[in-house]
Structure formats: C-alpha cells, structure tokens
Copies of this chain bind each other. A is one copy, B any other.
Amino acid sequence: MPVYQAPIEDTLFILHDVLNIEKYGKIPAFSEATPDLIKAVLEEGAKLCEEVLQPLNQVGDREGCTRLDDGNVTTPTGFKDAYKAFSEGGWGGLSVDEEHGGQGLPHFLAAIFNEFVVSANMSFGMYPGLTRGAMAAIIKHGTDEQKVTYLPKMVTGEWSGTMNLTEPHCGTDLGLLRTKAIPQEDSSYKISGTKIFISAGEHDLTDNIIHLVLARIEGAPEGMKGISLFIVPRNKIDADGVPGENNGVSCGSLEEKMGIHGNSTCVMNYDDATGFLIGAENKGMRAMFTMMNEARLGVGIQGLGIAEVAYQNAADYARDRLQGRALTGAKEPEKAADPIIVHPDVRRMLMNMKSFNEGARAFVAWTAINGDIAERSEDEAERQKADDLLALLTPVIKGVLTDTGFQTAVNAQQVYGGHGYIAEWGMEQFVRDARIAMIYEGANGVQALDLVGRKLAANGGRSLMAYFGELDALIGANKDDEKIGEIVAGLKKGRDDLEAATGWFMQNAMTNPDNAGAGSTDYMHLMGLVALGHMWVMMAKAAEDKLSEGGGNEEFLKNKLITARYFMERVMPETGAHLARISNGSETMMALDAEAF
C-alpha cells in the first residue's frame, strides 16, 4: 500500500526562504499568517491527510461510488467520516473571508494544503474542491442575500457545491449549450436540461448540494453571449435556511471512468428545477470564469499532488528493491544485489520527478501568492501586476503541471517494474487518477490556446512584459554569481528561447492565426520550463544565501543546489526543441485533407 508524508520542510523553505512571504505583511490576510501559525496549519493539515485521507485512497478506487435505485449516491467506505473530520477541522474555509464564516487566511495556504489533500486522496479532495469553486463564484458575483443563504453552510461543509457546464454535445464550446431557464414571476427561473461529467454531482456527504448551472434564458442570444449562471440547490431551502423537498434535480447515472473512482461523476438531470440567477443575465461566462480560474489552479495542483505521492513511493521502492549490481561495481556486496537506486536510469527518473515536484511546488506557491496580492493588496500597481501574472500563468499551471504530473506518475510506476502494473501496489491508480487532470477544466490544448491566443496579447502584452521583467531582474542580479551562475545561465537560455518563440508568433501569427495554434502547446510547455527554471534559480539563490550564512539544514540546502543544477542540465534543454517546432509553423500540419487521417 502506498505511503505519504506531506513535504512540510520543503514547503516552509519555499514560503520563508525563497518567496519571503514576510515581506507581504501589510496585506491583511498575510499579517495573520505568522510563521508559527503557518507551521501549525501545515502540520495539522498533514496529519489529517496522512492519517485520515490517505488510508482511504485505495478503498475509494476499489469501491467507487454507487448510485442507488432511488437516484441517491453513496460514497466509498470511510468517506463520510473523513469528510466530517475535514469539515470539523475548518479546512473548507481556510482562506474564505471571516465575514463569510471562514478563517481569512491567505489563499496560498489553501493551495498548499490542497497539494497535501490531493497527494493523500485526490478523489476525496474533489468534494470540498468543487465547493471552493462554487463559493468563489458566489462571493464574487452573488447578491448579499445569496451570500447569506449559501456561504455559511458551504464554508462549514454542511453543504457542498458543483459546477455544471458540460452537456453531451458541448464541452469546450459552451456556446452550444441547450439547458434552458424560464423566468418565473418571483424572479426565479425554471431550469431544465441534462449536464454530464458533473464531479461530486450527487453523494451522501452533505445535507444539500448547491449546483451552479450554466443555462440559456428563453429568448437569449445564441452562442456564448446568451449564457447565464444559476444557483440551483438540490433541495429547496425554506425561509429558515433548512433544506426540504427535492428541487427537480437528480443524478441520472454515474459515469464508468478510468480513475478518480472515489468521486461521483454524474449525469445530472434538471427538470423544472428552481434556479436563481447569479451575476447579470447573459453574463454567465464571466461568472463562470471566476470558478474556472480557481479550479484551473486547483487542477494544476492535482498534477503536482499526484506526482509528489507517486515520487515518494517510487523513491522508497528504489531504495528497497534489490536487483542487479551498480555499473561501477557492487555497492552493497553483502546483499544478494544492490538496491535499484544505484542505477543511473532509475536515478534519472527519480531526479526528473524530484526536480519537477519541488519546482512545481514553488511555482504553485508563487502563483497563489500573486492571487492573494491581486485580491487583497491595497497597492493598485502591485495588485495589477499580480493579476497580470496570475492571468498569464494560470493556463501554464493547469496545462504543464498536469501533463508533467501525469508523466511523473507514469515514471514512478515504471520504477516498480511489473509491480507497478498490479493494482495492490497502488501506482497504477496514481496514473489513472492523474490522467483526468489533463482533460477537465479545459483540456490542455485549450489552456495552450488561452495562453497564446488570449493571454499573450491581452492589454498590449502587459502580462508577458511583466513576466520577462521578473525573469530579467533575477537573471541580471545573479548571472555573475560564481556559485549559482551556471544555474542562472540555464534559465537565461530558456528565457531566450521563450523570447524567440514569442517573437516568431508576433511575426507570423497575425497573417495566419494557425501559426499560433500550431505552436501553442509547445509554447505553453516552453513557458512552463522557464517558470520552473525561474523557481529553481530562486531556490538555488535562497539555498546558497542560507548556506553562506551558516543557517538551516545544510544537507537539505546542498541537495537543493544539486537538484537545481540537474533541472538545468537535464530538463531545461527541451526548450530548444519546443522553439524549433514552433518555428516550423502550421503549413505542413494543416496540409492534409481531413479524410487523409
């Protein structure tokens, strides 16, 4: 059975030594997050994840969810108790403002805790995760009455939330959706239609489920411009806020899927269900994007979370499994064979995992902190810049961390040899679970197009310029450093490839937008490598500084420097291949007739 230990030391290093969160003390939420409090929260969260959630991960996979004949859905053994522990610990409201019943801590802390939850039990984590997204939309777009009605119960976990976007004939292209909303005299709407792939759509963990549903108001314009967002509680709520009879909302069936069996993926039927408009009429896409951006960061974290737990187990296995001898001669001659961690190719896999995970952890924290600044800073310029960086890098977090997270899980499975393919060892579950993250909340190709087609050019390229500004300041300040200069040079090369790729788009995508589309996924991954490299330079610098000062865990810090060097030597060189592919444009790619495939 897989094991898991939350990476607290690494997280604290990132927060305090690398990202220096103390410097944001003037932002309200941050001032409460003292180093002691952060440490206590992480340790308490780690305990819940390691002791309560992780032991249920394989159970959830094996049992899955069950739809009963009456349409109710039961979750796997133990999920109800775990959910109770999660809710009672206040984990659902960690970064929700106190006025709504939350703890008002910074979002970055919730993001970090989320990594632990995913590592321990991704399917479980999706239940509160979806609630978080729904709350974010209500907080941003709901009326005061809606906030009072829904948020307090959602923060405590008594009620959960969902996002209802996809229909059988439309996923990415929501303009095609058909679920309809008929206005009623009391200003509510009657919602009817079928939604598919609704995660946590029905389950037995909460008294009520608050569905956020995209639908088209009768007579609304066609396409994206005629879509509105509605709050549709599964059970009608009376004047005292108590859930009563069913509101015409039912789970038609559960999807049989590759993984995340512990989470219920539902076909949801809405049958004259009473819904309440949230945000403006026909502006549903805007409100929905609030959920989506929150969710995309969350899905990127899923890539990291699975990669981390898969890595930890692969490392354990590589230390334990005796097979063959080191190429340079027996390392443990007294044993029948050496542990496989002596083999360079096993090391290669482990170092790829380690350098990705630690880089991604820092990248998530850095991005989440920008989210906090964008929402909560009182300095307009600081807020603007953070918001620009957040917008630019959200698709990169989602696309790159899930692609590479999946690849990392596959590599971790590979370390196990044949045992990796066998269910009881748990590694193949990580691969199956990780796979969905590349698809939902906008398939990764859609993330790439969002990045290249929208984010690069937005506001005259302001986001990208801000990002290059960050990179160049860091590179400029450290490129001649005799200790980390070589590491900085690796980032510089990646940054230059990113600049060249951007320039190529500027020259070639205006005349033919397919040239942007053709290079979009390569560009997203190129930027992902630069973003991780950016983190590795910051981590190397922090480690070197701390070593010079003689403080901290010396071995930990030296290992950071080695891993930073590994990343530049072995991972970053991929940027050149991305640039070469991008620069070849779309002509050959688009040349075949559709029927020729």
What residues of B have a CB within 8 angstroms of the CB of A417 in the complex?
Answer: 171-172, 439, 443
Q: A423-B257, A445-B345 are in contact. Are A596 and B555 (CB under 8 A)?
A: yes
Interface contact A344-B590, CB-CB below 8 Å: yes
Tell me the chain A residues, 38-84 only, with Cβ under 8 Å from chain B: none
Kindly state the separation between the CA atoms of A436 and B559 in the bound complex, as whole angstroms. Answer: 33
A546 at the interface (CB under 8 A from B): no
Kindly state the separation between the CA atoms of A283 and B418 in the bound complex, as whole angstroms. Answer: 25
Kindly state the separation between the CA atoms of A25 and B518 in the bound complex, as whole angstroms. Answer: 45
Q: A417-B439, A584-B570, A589-B566 are in contact. Are A341 and B597 (CB under 8 A)?
A: yes
Q: A576-B580, A589-B344 are in contact. Are A435 and B439 (CB under 8 A)?
A: no
Interface contact A346-B445, CB-CB below 8 Å: yes
* Oligomer: number of copies: 2
Residue ID in chain B nearest A570 by CB atoms? B581
A506-519 contact mask (Cβ, 8 Å, vs B): 1 or 0: 00000011101110
What residues of B have a CB within 8 angstroms of the CB of A328 in the complex?
Answer: 512-514
Kindly state the separation between the CA atoms of A345 and B573 in the bound complex, as whole angstroms. Answer: 23
What residues of B have a CB within 8 angstroms of the CB of A339 in the complex?
Answer: 594
> Shortest CB–CB separation between residue A510 and chain B, in angstroms?
12
Interface contact B350-A597, CB-CB below 8 Å: yes
Interface contact B513-A327, CB-CB below 8 Å: yes
> Shortest CB–CB separation between residue A6 and chain B, in angstroms?
16
A158 at the interface (CB under 8 A from B): no
Q: Spot the interface stretch: A205-213, A316-324, A389-397, A460-468.
A: A316-324
Residue ID in chain B nearest A347 by CB atoms? B589
Interface contact B343-A445, CB-CB below 8 Å: yes
Tell me the chain A residues, 504-542 only, with Cβ under 8 Å from chain B: 512-514, 516-518, 520-521
What residues of B have a CB within 8 angstroms of the CB of A570 in the complex?
Answer: 581, 584, 588-589
Q: A172-B417, A581-B569, A588-B562 are in contact. Are A521 and B432 (CB under 8 A)?
A: no
Residue ID in chain B nearest A413 by CB atoms? B435
Contact of A323 among B173, B448, B577 (CB under 8 A): B173
Number of contact residues on A: which range applies?
A: 35 or more
Contact of A344 among B176, B517, B597 (CB under 8 A): B517
What residues of B have a CB within 8 angstroms of the CB of A346 in the complex?
Answer: 445
Residue ID in chain B nearest A573 by CB atoms? B580
A437-456 contact mask (Cβ, 8 Å, vs B): 1 or 0: 01110011100110001000
Residue ID in chain B nearest A512 by CB atoms? B328
> Shortest CB–CB separation between residue A409 and chain B, in angstroms?
11
Residue ID in chain B nearest A406 by CB atoms? B410
Kindly state the separation between the CA atoms of A434 and B383 in the bound complex, as whole angstroms. Answer: 47
A389-429 contact mask (Cβ, 8 Å, vs B): 1 or 0: 00000000000000000100010011001101111100010
> Shortest CB–CB separation between residue A63 and chain B, in angstroms?
14
A139-182 contact mask (Cβ, 8 Å, vs B): 1 or 0: 00000000000000000000000000010011111011000000
What residues of B have a CB within 8 angstroms of the CB of A516 in the complex?
Answer: 327
What residues of B have a CB within 8 angstroms of the CB of A323 in the complex?
Answer: 170-173, 176
Residue ID in chain B nearest A438 by CB atoms? B414
A203 at the interface (CB under 8 A from B): no
Interface contact A173-B418, CB-CB below 8 Å: no
A592 at the interface (CB under 8 A from B): yes
A305-331 contact mask (Cβ, 8 Å, vs B): 1 or 0: 000000100010011001110011000
Tell me the chain A residues, 351-397 only, with Cβ under 8 Å from chain B: 351, 354
What residues of B have a CB within 8 angstroms of the CB of A327 in the complex?
Answer: 453, 513-514, 516-517
A258 at the interface (CB under 8 A from B): yes
Contact of A418 among B166, B354, B555 (CB under 8 A): B166
Interface contact B597-A432, CB-CB below 8 Å: no
6 of the cross-chain contacts (CB-CB < 8 Å) are A311-B597, A345-B517, A428-B435, A559-B596, A563-B592, A576-B580
Q: A257-B423, A559-B596, A573-B581 are in contact. List 8 more A-B contacts (CB 8 A).
A: A173-B323, A256-B424, A327-B517, A341-B597, A432-B432, A562-B591, A569-B588, A576-B580
